[in-house]
Amino acid sequence: MANKLYAMELLTEEVAKDVAANPQEWMRFLNTASRLYRYTFPEQLLIYAQRPGATAVASMEIWNQKMYRWIKKGSKGIALIDNTSGPKTKLRYVFDVQDTYKVKNLGRDPQLWNLNPEGEQLVADYLQERLALEATEGGLAEVLHQAAEESVQAWLPDAFDELQMDVAGTFLEDLDEQNQKVEFRELMTNSVWYVLLNRCGLDVQEYLDAEDFRHITDFNQLKVIGHLGSSVNEISRPVLMQIGRYVLNDLEKDLKTVAKEKEVAYNEFNTLIRESKTRNTEDRGENKEETEHERDHLQPEWRVPDSGYQSGGDERNDREVRIDEEEYLRNHKVARFNILTLQNRLDSHLMEIDSQARQRVDNLMSELLEKNPAPDKMADGMAWTRHMNQIKAQAEELVIQEIIYN
């Protein structure tokens, strides 16, 4: 047993040097650490060395007595160093779920949480509230980054003091205190963010790459990388545990609430559309001043009164702007649509878009008319109408691109 224990201690030191050898190796280790965040950093190192693809590990007792799963014959346990069972250090063994099979009619699967894209914004909102983070519209990735930065900021002073006691004989010794602190903070923040992103199923490569971990080679011994790895583990674990509880217990219910509110909002808008069409039909029937000649040549959707261009547009156009914006959010910016709906801000947002769009169309038409003046209305009414319709169509197309799609 003593020889095995010593072998595991040597293995811990060796794998610590390996994961610090280059940024890519450190990132591969973080992939494993993000799945096994309930284990300590030294335990994560040993699991990574013996079973880097492990997804859910537990002792034989837990698999047998709580999960009703038996260990497959011939499976080799993952050896971990146990410092928690008294003054004497010993080894304990855990097994990955792949090393087990269910007892018939009793066996259970481990309760692992997975976050689907449709739930990302709700998780972001949940974390903002629970961690008292500043409001951001950058989505879950930005919220996780904010959580990493603020947690590291609070954690750094004590962790750095402990690190400085062990820098002798490492590459960090060649740096002054300020640069040691900069590297420690940067690596800790990016590593925590990496773990959070990866466990939440986001594409880490969209946000972080090897350059963000370039200083890992200065943490070339277990005694210094142990401070970094343990800090990353201690910071990320409670955040991931909160996310896991929310995903498993409340996310599905909140998604149903959002879907129901979206349906109600959609039905309300359909009602508004029908009412708007009815009013516009009645208004057109009552309009006796427009000549037959102008009615034949005006575009039905974007008519310009024959008395001249009037700023502000008509009510139907305003509603169409709101409809376009809502449909764009619903189909292409689902997370944004969900949060606006949840916070009862969808209608006010659409009204604001209305106002911006009307004002922008007015301004653009004025600019376009300055560059390309309309023909004299009295001399050629049809040419004037055609020109004004073209100007307005150009302005509206620009506004759709600028305000709605952006």
What is residue 184's predicted lDDT score, i.e. its pLDDT?
A: 98
Secondary element (H or E) of residue 280: helix 251-286
Give pLDDT, residue 311: 40
**Residues facing residue 70 across a β-bridge:** 101
> Among 69-78, 240-249, 327-336, where is mean pLDDT lowest?
327-336
Domain locations along the chain: 2-55+112-249, 252-281+296-404
Most confident of 286-295, 317-326, 367-376: 367-376
**How confident is the model at residue 66, as a pLDDT?**
94
Kindly indicate the confidence band of residue 239, based on its pLDDT and cuts at 50, 70 and 90.
Answer: very high
Predicted confidence at residue 275, as pLDDT, reads 59
Mean pLDDT of 302-328: 51
Strands laid side by side in the 57-59 sheet: 57-59, 90-96, 78-82
Q: What is the pLDDT of residues 148-161, one digit of tens each?
A: 999 999 999 999 99
Of the listed ranges 92-106, 263-277, 300-314, the least confidently predicted one is: 300-314
Q: Is the pLDDT of residue 313 over 70?
A: no
Helix (H) or strand (E) holding 32: helix 23-35
Tens-digit pLDDT profile for residues 7-37: 999 999 999 999 999 999 999 999 999 999 9
Lowest mean pLDDT among 65-74, 129-138, 200-209, 288-297: 288-297
SS3 (DSSP) at 91: strand
- Output the pLDDT for position 376: 85
Distance in angstroms (rounded) separating the CA atoms of residues 260 and 289: 46
Give 106: exposed, middle or buried? Use CB within 10 Å, 0-12, 13-18, 19+. Answer: exposed
Query: What mean pLDDT is predicted for residues 362-384?
Result: 84
Alpha-carbon distances, residue 80 vs 6, 12, 70, 73, 77 (angstroms): 12, 10, 20, 20, 9
pLDDT of 269 over the 70 cut: no
What pLDDT does residue 301 have?
40
Provide the mean pLDDT of the chain.
84
pLDDT (0 to 100) of residue 267: 66
**Residue 69: what pLDDT?**
96
Angle at alpha carbon of residue 237, lines to 190 and 55, rounded to 5°: 95
**Would the pLDDT of 217 be above 90?**
yes
Average pLDDT over residues 87-107: 93
Kindly state the average pLDDT of the residues 110-127.
Answer: 93
Alpha carbons 187 and 268: distance in angstroms, whole number: 50
Range 218-223 average pLDDT? 96
- Record the tokens describing residue 148, joined without a space: 């990493």
* Per-residue model confidence (pLDDT) at position 282: 57
Q: What is the pLDDT of residue 83?
A: 84
Over range 87-113, report the average pLDDT.
Answer: 93
- Summarize the confidence of residues 290-311 as an average pLDDT: 43
Residue 392 pLDDT greater than 80, yes or no: yes
Instruction: Find where tokens 């000649």 sit.
Output: 293
Q: What is the mean pLDDT of residues 244-253?
A: 94
Average pLDDT of span 275-299 = 51
- Is the pLDDT at 404 greater than 80? The verdict is no
Q: According to the model, what pLDDT value does residue 405 have? A: 59
Residue 165 CB: number of other CB atoms within 10 A? 9
pLDDT at 372 over 90: no
Decide: helix, strand or coil at residue 75. Answer: coil
Percent of the chain with pLDDT over 70: 80
Query: Once rounded to an integer, what is the mean pLDDT over residues 69-95?
Result: 91
Return the minimum-mean-pLDDT range out of 41-45, 314-318, 369-373, 384-388. Answer: 314-318
Q: What digits encode the pLDDT tens for the residues 164-210?
A: 999 999 999 999 999 999 999 999 999 999 999 999 999 999 999 99
The pLDDT assigned to 290 comes to: 47
Tell if the pTM clears 0.75, that is, is over it: no
DSSP H helix total and E strand total for the chain = 14, 5
Q: Do residues 211 and 26 make contact, with C-beta atoms less than 8 angstroms apart?
A: no
